Structure 1
């Protein structure tokens, strides 16, 4: 399927290419409709229907929504000077019954539950939705970097797109400004083209300018060995030992220091276990690895003024954790200082974590009904949640300079084009294989189309420990190393016998070079794909 097949959205091209197979047999005497049949707005928890005007403008009282069609997308603009707007929704009347399988993304990380599923009317499909009828894949989405949080609904007789405009847990106050809410894109695959290839190409349409690492990223991360009980010495020992298994001298691996180096509430101050983070970075470099560092941008200090803090959100435990309000410029300035500090210390990559949880008080798997608890608001209510997140991500990007950034617990569609890497799934494990299978194999199988189209898609670590069976970890290691995605290993040094060392050395060598994306061959029917195409050969895995 050629990319131009997705982005040709002229009035005739969009209709004839996309909707000829989705519309009822006769609509307006056979002519096709390429503008929404209905538009709705949510204010004060009530949905109100807007009046259409020419198919591209919809109004109700002070609310005005305008759709502007270009050659590659449909831009949605919203003006609501007086209303506290919670969401807008478009509906297209289409018969989707012939499509037996539907696939949608996740808000942020995935949680072991991704799959092609039968259409369900009440399911929210974050960011994009793919429909498959055993011959072709129809694709509906929005471009990355949107200013609203978007999801698709596939109903028996219509398709819906909802653009959430909330600020915190209340409607946004736009005032006189016009919000560029999202850019809608669609596509249709060739006959008998694989849904995997269709998904990959559609990701390229949604993200025209990904920000990618200059070379493949691989290396080590200490989390699944010590789970925060790290120190200068443990990082030195792990880096030194694992560096001996590296054979590629042109693309050096990373040694990422995870949680445990900092003061509990201040990510600009090193604790007594490490003492000097600049010295730590130099130690890592001396062993031929590139230093990386984990951080949590929105954690507040215990002595911070209450005026800087985000409101307490029901369900988010804040008895011992205080969160900075990301709409306050002083807090954004602190985030930027900390990121710039890590660069001054000599780090080449920063992994920033917890921002979605800290902002919304929910994990992505808990966002089935609402993104956050209702009723609370930030200091600044004039920006949507998506705009607030975009501003935070942009500040991190700006202050990082040429350091690589890994987003973890970040909204996927807002990370694309901003961060070089994104953690695409919840934590794997160094303690139980079942968790690695659920969170690792599933997320890699269903989010690899985003690899090198949105960012480098990090499926998380191989927890190489005595608690996880080597016959399973060896397969997970191989899949990561040969999939074209980043590879990170957390290894207990005392279990590295000759067999494991040889496997790690080979995995590092594979991960250091550019490879084609792996393809899960049975992902239409298997939630944990076992049949893969890796480097143009078929490989079978046994995850059970």
Structure 2
């Protein structure tokens, strides 16, 4: 739901035009069988003799960037690289190449590791995103200055190789490739300042890689590599599916609308233990939608939260709720706020951690079985993932506790605090860092908001993130590509396809239902989609993703399908 400002407003004239144009194309089949020549095998191209680049060795160069300038480290015996008091150690272990840092007196900002060697020509590379994707993931050729967060995959025409760091690193890590080698950058800043370790040594990250195997598709290779990077994901014991009210209500929700959704979802969902979730998004908090706290009560539209969760369960559904726990509200004392960022809570302040843990515990105590927390990345770092790039956050700002821990360590501690507060509830992270969420949260949003008002936004954000990040599904967490809304503003023939793809992809399925837009046709489609999602499906695999940012050809449960995402007039060239 985060980045609400992107999806909440769309010109009515454009919506009318889209609806009229799409209606003229209703005679075209919604979902057609894939052309016979397509298959699940890796796409054919010029094959390199050996595209794999071995990173399980000492790098050829290490630099550190400090508050006083940059230094090139000298290589010594035993994997030690030194400059004055700063020491970077690399050690090959069974789990990968461990990288550690010590620097008693130097404020270290970044570490650069470089492996020299010819990178086989003709390869295509796929990187990840810091938090959610923004409709911009794609396979590309060599772009030397391209920052690829956390990991990247390289397809050499025959095999797909993986390079990355294990999940849960103590630094924000990104990769670069060029014709002469591969670089890893580890941002170890504390806030926007250099890290001051003192006598402490920092385990920065563990570098891992995986050579591709003959006959496996790029998607299968990437999924296997994701499992390697996160050997112990935290997964729910059931498939997550249901309803989230944001994409039709946009904050205009209530206890009554929540119960109405619960009754409808329960009636359309298959019988059995795995009941659908009905998630209350922004709008329930005492100050009203968009006010971000406090979270110790609710407003007049939600007069009895414990009673509401009980009623949702009686209706045959599971209650869920949204919260934005890291944004400061007016009554918060200044020492609880990040210095210089008065709208954001500082997660290094003990009272803030206690408050966030108590807020999560309160929601669980009210009876909510799923807690979706939002906006923590932009609250702490001041940027959405789309604007982080290689800089990640601004320079100079700092946490209240000082410069003794990296920002990644602070975020990991915050996530563990949220996890502890939620108890047995399923936790869904939104606007959270992917590699830091893995192994802590059961589910994560993998893309920016879809929309109940503009199909172009759903096409761009939803299809792209599902195609390029579903390989993380059940490896890092359960992937949530965001909502499949049923509203009057989005043409049904487009919504029907998106609903069908998400339900068959094995990812989290949330609908958002304007009850006045749900007729017999929609009910039947929902019944089928909810049954698929409740049962759990094999991972949906994009087939044409090496060629487009918006794949239309998919392998779903062994069946090939083709979708038509574009409107008759084509995709919007404007920001959506």
Q: Normalising by structure 1, report the TM-score.
A: 0.92
Cα distance change on mapping 1:44 and 1:266 into 2, 3 Å: same
Contact kept, 8 Å, 1:135 with 1:193, in 2: the verdict is no
How far apart, in 2, do the equivalents of 1:99 and 1:130 lie?
14
- The Cα shift of 1:369 comes to 3.9
Contact kept, 8 Å, 1:481 with 1:487, in 2: the verdict is yes
Alignment of 1:224-243 (within 5 A): 224-243=247-266
Contact kept, 8 Å, 1:22 with 1:94, in 2: the verdict is no
Alignment partner of 2:303 out of 275, 278, 302: 275
Residue 375 (structure 2) aligns with: 354
Residue 285 (structure 1) aligns with: 313
How far apart, in 1, do the equivalents of 2:87 and 2:498 lie?
51
The answer to whether residue 504 in structure 2 is matched with residue 482 in structure 1 is yes
Alignment of 1:371-520 (within 5 A): 371-380=392-401, 381-520=403-542
How far apart, in 2, do the equivalents of 1:55 and 1:106 lie?
34
SS at 1:172's partner residue? Answer: coil
Contact kept, 8 Å, 2:90 with 2:97, in 1: the verdict is yes
How far apart, in 2, do the equivalents of 1:121 and 1:250 lie?
51
How far apart, in 2, do the equivalents of 1:55 and 1:365 lie?
40
- The Cα shift of 1:275 comes to 1.7
- The Cα shift of 1:22 comes to 5.2
How far apart, in 2, do the equivalents of 1:33 and 1:395 lie?
34
Across the two proteins, how many residue pairs are aligned to each other? 512
- The Cα shift of 1:202 comes to 0.1
Alignment partner of 1:91 out of 106, 110, 114: 114
Contact kept, 8 Å, 2:52 with 2:211, in 1: the verdict is no
SS at 1:244's partner residue? Answer: helix
How far apart, in 1, do the equivalents of 2:456 and 2:113 lie?
40
- The Cα shift of 1:34 comes to 2.1
Residue 267 (structure 2) aligns with: 244
Contact kept, 8 Å, 2:50 with 2:120, in 1: the verdict is no
- The Cα shift of 1:301 comes to 2.8
How far apart, in 2, do the equivalents of 1:196 and 1:33 lie?
23
Contact kept, 8 Å, 1:136 with 1:190, in 2: the verdict is yes
How far apart, in 1, do the equivalents of 2:52 and 2:461 lie?
34
How far apart, in 2, do the equivalents of 1:379 and 1:419 lie?
26
- Please list every run of 5 or more consecutive structure 1 residues that lacks an aligned counterpart in the other structure: 1-18, 25-31
Residue 152 (structure 2) aligns with: 129
Residue 364 (structure 2) aligns with: 343
Q: Structure 1, residues 164-199: CA drift from partner, whole Å, max 9, x if none?
A: 001111111111100011011011111342111110
- The Cα shift of 1:128 comes to 0.4
Cα distance change on mapping 1:45 and 1:164 into 2, 3 Å: farther
Residue 334 (structure 1) aligns with: 355
How far apart, in 1, do the equivalents of 2:71 and 2:122 lie?
30
Moved more, 355-364 or 397-406: 397-406
Residue 9 (structure 2) aligns with: none
Contact kept, 8 Å, 1:134 with 1:192, in 2: the verdict is no
- The Cα shift of 1:136 comes to 1.4
SS at 1:268's partner residue? Answer: coil
Alignment partner of 1:529 out of 551, 570, 574: 551
Alignment partner of 1:220 out of 243, 254, 276: 243
Structure 1 ranges of 4+ moved more than 6 A: none
Residue 60 (structure 1) aligns with: 83
- The Cα shift of 1:95 comes to 1.1
Q: Structure 1, residues 42-89: CA drift from partner, whole Å, max 9, x if none?
A: 102732100111361101111101112211211111101111110111
Tell me how large the CA RMSD over aligned residues is: 1.6
Alignment of 1:39-54 (within 5 A): 39-44=62-67, 46-54=69-77
Contact kept, 8 Å, 1:23 with 1:93, in 2: the verdict is no
- The Cα shift of 1:309 comes to 0.7
How far apart, in 1, do the equivalents of 2:90 and 2:296 lie?
45
Contact kept, 8 Å, 1:296 with 1:352, in 2: the verdict is yes
Residue 3 (structure 1) aligns with: none
How far apart, in 2, do the equivalents of 1:170 and 1:330 lie?
23
Residue 384 (structure 2) aligns with: 363
Alignment partner of 1:302 out of 308, 330, 341: 330
How far apart, in 1, do the equivalents of 2:530 and 2:444 lie?
20
Contact kept, 8 Å, 2:81 with 2:89, in 1: the verdict is yes
SS at 1:225's partner residue? Answer: helix
- The Cα shift of 1:238 comes to 1.9
How far apart, in 2, do the equivalents of 1:47 and 1:135 lie?
40
How far apart, in 2, do the equivalents of 1:340 and 1:69 lie?
41
How far apart, in 2, do the equivalents of 1:39 and 1:79 lie?
14
- Please list every run of 5 or more consecutive structure 2 residues that lacks an aligned counterpart in the other structure: 1-48, 567-576
How far apart, in 1, do the equivalents of 2:559 and 2:269 lie?
25
SS at 2:535's partner residue? Answer: coil
SS at 2:282's partner residue? Answer: coil
- The Cα shift of 1:21 comes to 4.8
Contact kept, 8 Å, 1:448 with 1:517, in 2: the verdict is yes
